[in-house]
Amino acid sequence: MAKATSKNAKVKDLKASAEAKNWTKVIRAVKSPKSGAYTFKEGIVHKDKIKEYLAQ
């Protein structure tokens, strides 16, 4: 038989999933000064700091 989960475990999972929705994967193209080819840099950024990340 399956083990029943407690109410506290469910609440903790809901809080964690709500917090995870505040993060975004950002991919930006960066041009190489040597070859002129583009490479892609990606990062996981908080949704409030996306513009700062792209300004770098």
Whole-prediction pTM: 0.59
Higher-confidence residue of 8 and 51: namely 51
Neighbours of 26 (CB within 10 A): 15
Looking at residue 15, its pLDDT comes to 76
Work out the percent of the chain whose per-residue pLDDT is above 70: 80
Distance CA 13, CA 7 (A): 10
Looking at residue 19, its pLDDT comes to 83
Looking at residue 51, its pLDDT comes to 94
Q: Read out DSSP for 2-56? A: PPPPPHHHHHHHHHHHHHHTTEEEEEEEEE-TTT--EEEEEEEEEGGGHHHHHH-
pLDDT of 3 > 70? The answer is no
Mean pLDDT of 42-46: 94
